[in-house]
Chain A
Amino acid sequence: MSDSWAVDVEDVSKNFGDVKALDGVTLRVRQGEIYGLLGPNGSGKTTLIRMFVGLVAPNAGTVTVLGQRMPNVAMLSHVGYMTQAAALYPGLSVEENVRFFAAINGTEGGVKAALEFVKLYDRRASVVSTLSGGMRQRLSLACALVHKPQLLLLDEPTVGVDPQLRVELWDGFKEMADAGTTIIVSSHVMDEAERCQRLGLILFGKLLTEGTPGEIRSRAGRPTLEEAFLSLSQSRA
C-alpha cells in the first residue's frame, strides 16, 4: 500500500507554543515525483520538511518516509536534505565539504558528479568562506545530493542562483526524477512551481489545495499560477 508513496503524511499537527505551525496536514508524494510546496513566509513549509527527516516531532499524526515510520535514523542515508540557509563548513574547501557529506552517508563516489551538477567542479579547491552567496547555495545543493538519495528535500534551493543556472538545475532535477528520485521542493518562484508535477499550497499550517499546476490555475480560474496562488491565499485569509 504505502510502498508506492515516497512520503506519506497523515493528519499531522505541530505547535510551537501558541503558534500552530502545522494543523492537520495530510499529504502523499509518489516515488519519482517532483512535488512543490508553496506558501507565504511562516506558513509551515520548513517545519513540514524537517518533519520528513525526523528533526521535528509531530504533536499528532504520523509521518512515513520511504516506507519507514519516522523518526528512523537508519533510512536517512536514502534522504538528502538541503536546508533553507546554506549550512556548510566555511573553513573547508568546496570538495572537502562534499566529501564529508558523502562520507557521513556512507559513500565515497559521486563527489565529482555532484560538483559538476552545480557547476562548481572548477572551484573545488576554493575555501567556502571565499565563495559568493549563490555559489554557497549551489554547494549546499551538491552536499544534499552527493549520496544519490531516493528522496531529495530541497528548501528553497535556487535562492540567489542566477536564471541561466536555475534553468539548468531544474533540467537536472527533472532528469533525476525520471530516474526515480523523489524531489520535494519548497519555493516562492512561480516559474519553478510551474515545473513541478504537483503542488501543495500551504497557508497558516494547513494544506489549502493540491494538484498539478494546470489544475490549480483552473480551480482558481486565473491564467497564471501567480494570480491563482494570490487569489487562493486571499480567499482563505
Chain B
Amino acid sequence: MSGKRVAAITKRLLQQFRRDRRTLALLFVAPIVILGLLGYLIRGSASAPAVGIANEDQGPLGATVAAALAHSSGISTTTIQSSDGDAKLKDGSLAAYIVFPPDFSSQAQAGTIAPDVHLEGSQPGTIAPVLQALQEALISAVSSQAPGQGLHVQPRISYLYGGPGFDTLDYFGAAFIGLVVFFLVFVVTIVSFLNERSQGTLERLMASPLRRGEIVLGYMLGFTVLALIQAVEVLVFALAVLKVHNSGNVALIFGIEALMAIAAVNLGIFLSMFARTEFQAVQFIPLVIVPQFLLSGILFSVSSEPKPLQLLSGVLPLTYAVNGLRDVMVRGADLSWGSLQLDVGVVAGFIVVLVIAAATTLRRRIA
C-alpha cells in the first residue's frame, strides 16, 4: 500500500470533478432542491391559515392586537364568537382561533397577558405562522400602548388534535438529511467507476503497479472529500434555512452523515463491478436503493412492518443510519446511548465489509 499512489487517484478524481460542472451541480444543488421541496411540501401551506379572532376585552388592548393581526401577512383573520370557535375548527373553516379575555387590558396593566390560543393541531404547517403572527401583533400593539413596560406574554395554547410536538419535517428531516447524501454519493460513485471501465483507463490502472486496495481507497478518499462537503452543506441548509428541529449535537449528526456517505461510496464501487454500462448502473437504483429506503423506517416505522420485512430491515445499513440520525436530532441522543452506539457500530461495520468486498471483487484480470 503506497500513500503516494492512493493520493494520486484521489487527486485525479477531484481534478476531474472540477471541470465536471454537471456532476458538481448534482452533488451540491440537488440536495438543496430536494430538501427545499420537501420543506415546502410539508410546511409551506399554500394559503395563509384562517384564524378566528374573538375579542372579549373590555379595555382597548384587545382591539389593537386584533387590528394588528388583521394586517399580518402570515394569517388571514375573521371575527368570531368564542363559543363558535371549536365548531369552526372541527369543520375545517378555521385553523386556529384566538380569544382575548374580558380582563385582557387589565392583565396588561398587571404585567402578564394570557390570550387563549386554540389550534386545530393536525396540520403541523399551520401552527408556526399563527403563533408567530400573534407574537408580532402583541409586540407592536403593546409597544404603541405602553412603551417601555416589561410585559410577559403567556399565551394559553390548546390543541384540538395532536399536541405541541414536532412537525412533520422535524420528524422526516432528520432521516432525509442522511438519505439525500447517501443517494447522491452512491449514484456519482457508481457511474464514475463505470466510466473508468468503459473508457479503458481501468485496464491501464490494472496494468500498473497499483494494488486493488489502493484503487478502492483512493476512490473512497476522493469521494469522501466531496461527500463531506455535501454533508456540511445539507446540514447547514437543514438547520439554518429549513430550521429542522434538532435537540442533539451537530457534530454527532455530521459524523453519522459522513459514515453514510462513506458507506455509499463503497456500495457504489462494489456494485459497479456488477454493471457493464452506466445504464445498467442506474438500474441498481430501483433494485438496491428504493427497497432500502422503504425498509429503513423513514416512512413506515420498522416495528409496524410485517415480521419477515422487519428481519430484512434489520440487516440493511440504512435502517441503522436513519434510526441514529433520528435518535440524535429528535430525541437528543448522545454517544452514551446504547441504541446510538449500536447504530453507529453497524454502519461502521458495514463500511468495513463493503471496502473488503469492493477490493476483492475488483478483478485484475479481464479474462
In the assembled complex, the CB of B19 is this many whole angstroms from the nearest CB of chain A, namely 5
Q: What CA separation (Å) do A81 and B202 show in the bound complex?
A: 12
In the assembled complex, the CB of B175 is this many whole angstroms from the nearest CB of chain A, namely 34
From the candidates A77, A89, A103, name the one contacting B8 in the complex (CB within 8 A): A103
B205 close to chain A: CB less than 8 A: yes
Residue pair B20, A91 in contact (C-beta under 8 Å) = yes
Q: What CA separation (Å) do A104 and B219 show in the bound complex?
A: 13
B15 close to chain A: CB less than 8 A: yes
User: Among the listed stretches B142-150, B208-216, B269-277, which one makes contact with chain A, having 4 or more residues with CB under 8 Å of it?
Assistant: B208-216
User: Among the listed stretches B155-163, B345-353, B359-367, which one makes contact with chain A, having 4 or more residues with CB under 8 Å of it?
Assistant: B359-367
B210 partner residues in chain A, CB cutoff 8 A: 73, 104
Residue pair B5, A73 in contact (C-beta under 8 Å) = no
In the assembled complex, the CB of B309 is this many whole angstroms from the nearest CB of chain A, namely 42
Q: What CA separation (Å) do A75 and B203 show in the bound complex?
A: 16
Residue pair A16, B367 in contact (C-beta under 8 Å) = yes
B238 close to chain A: CB less than 8 A: no
The A contact surface, by secondary structure, is loop
Q: What CA separation (Å) do A92 and B14 show in the bound complex?
A: 10
B16 close to chain A: CB less than 8 A: yes
In the assembled complex, the CB of A91 is this many whole angstroms from the nearest CB of chain B, namely 4
B283 close to chain A: CB less than 8 A: no
Residue pair B365, A105 in contact (C-beta under 8 Å) = no
User: Among the listed stretches A47-55, A178-186, A219-227, which one makes contact with chain B, having 4 or more residues with CB under 8 Å of it?
Assistant: A47-55
In the assembled complex, the CB of B311 is this many whole angstroms from the nearest CB of chain A, namely 41
B152 close to chain A: CB less than 8 A: no
Which residue on chain B has the smallest CB distance to residue A84? B200
Which residue on chain B has the smallest CB distance to residue A103? B8
Within 8 A of B (CB), among A57-72: 57, 71
A79 partner residues in chain B, CB cutoff 8 A: 207
A121 close to chain B: CB less than 8 A: no
Residue pair B19, A91 in contact (C-beta under 8 Å) = yes
Within 8 A of A (CB), among B1-31: 2, 4-5, 7-9, 11-12, 15-17, 19-20
B11 partner residues in chain A, CB cutoff 8 A: 100, 103
Given contacts A16-B367, A55-B366, A56-B367, are A89 and B209 in contact (CB under 8 A)?
no
Residue pair B4, A106 in contact (C-beta under 8 Å) = yes
Within 8 A of A (CB), among B242-268: none
Given contacts A104-B5, A105-B208, A105-B209, are A83 and B199 in contact (CB under 8 A)?
no
B367 partner residues in chain A, CB cutoff 8 A: 16, 56-57
B200 partner residues in chain A, CB cutoff 8 A: 83, 85-87
Given contacts A57-B365, A88-B201, A89-B16, are A104 and B209 in contact (CB under 8 A)?
yes
Q: B312-334, CB under 8 A of A: which get 1 and which 0?
A: 00000000000000000000000
B: number of interface residues (CB 8 Å): 29
Q: What CA separation (Å) do A143 and B12 show in the bound complex?
A: 14
From the candidates A74, A87, A100, name the one contacting B203 in the complex (CB within 8 A): A87
Residue pair B199, A74 in contact (C-beta under 8 Å) = no
B206 close to chain A: CB less than 8 A: yes
B204 close to chain A: CB less than 8 A: yes
Q: What CA separation (Å) do A109 and B207 show in the bound complex?
A: 20
A90 close to chain B: CB less than 8 A: yes
Within 8 A of A (CB), among B262-318: none
Q: B163-206, CB under 8 A of A: which get 1 and which 0?
A: 00000000000000000000000000000000000011101111
Residue pair A89, B5 in contact (C-beta under 8 Å) = no
From the candidates A71, A77, A86, A127, name the one contacting B208 in the complex (CB within 8 A): A77
Given contacts A55-B207, A76-B209, A77-B208, are A100 and B365 in contact (CB under 8 A)?
no
A35 partner residues in chain B, CB cutoff 8 A: none
Q: What CA separation (Å) do A90 and B198 show in the bound complex?
A: 12
Q: What CA separation (Å) do A53 and B7 show in the bound complex?
A: 23
Q: What CA separation (Å) do A19 and B35 show in the bound complex?
A: 54
A85 partner residues in chain B, CB cutoff 8 A: 200
Residue pair A104, B9 in contact (C-beta under 8 Å) = yes
Residue pair A74, B19 in contact (C-beta under 8 Å) = no
Residue pair A92, B15 in contact (C-beta under 8 Å) = yes
A194 close to chain B: CB less than 8 A: no
In the assembled complex, the CB of B363 is this many whole angstroms from the nearest CB of chain A, namely 10
A101 close to chain B: CB less than 8 A: yes
A23 close to chain B: CB less than 8 A: no
A192 close to chain B: CB less than 8 A: no
A10 close to chain B: CB less than 8 A: no
In the assembled complex, the CB of A42 is this many whole angstroms from the nearest CB of chain B, namely 15
B211 partner residues in chain A, CB cutoff 8 A: 73
Residue pair B204, A89 in contact (C-beta under 8 Å) = no
Residue pair B204, A87 in contact (C-beta under 8 Å) = yes
Q: What CA separation (Å) do A127 and B208 show in the bound complex?
A: 23
Residue pair B12, A92 in contact (C-beta under 8 Å) = yes
Q: What CA separation (Å) do A76 and B12 show in the bound complex?
A: 20
From the candidates B12, B199, B365, name the one contacting A55 in the complex (CB within 8 A): B365
A11 close to chain B: CB less than 8 A: no
7 nearest CB pairs, A to B: A87-B200, A103-B8, A53-B207, A77-B209, A81-B207, A91-B16, A76-B209
Interface residues of A (CB under 8 A from B): 16, 50, 53-57, 71, 73-77, 79, 81, 83, 85-92, 96, 100-101, 103-106, 127, 143
Known pairs A57-B367, A88-B199, A92-B19 / 16 extra A-B pairs, C-beta < 8 Å: A16-B367, A54-B207, A55-B203, A56-B365, A71-B365, A73-B210, A73-B211, A85-B200, A86-B200, A88-B201, A89-B12, A89-B16, A104-B9, A104-B209, A105-B208, A106-B2
A-B contact pairs, 9 of them (CB 8 A): A54-B365, A81-B207, A91-B15, A92-B12, A92-B15, A92-B19, A101-B208, A103-B4, A104-B208
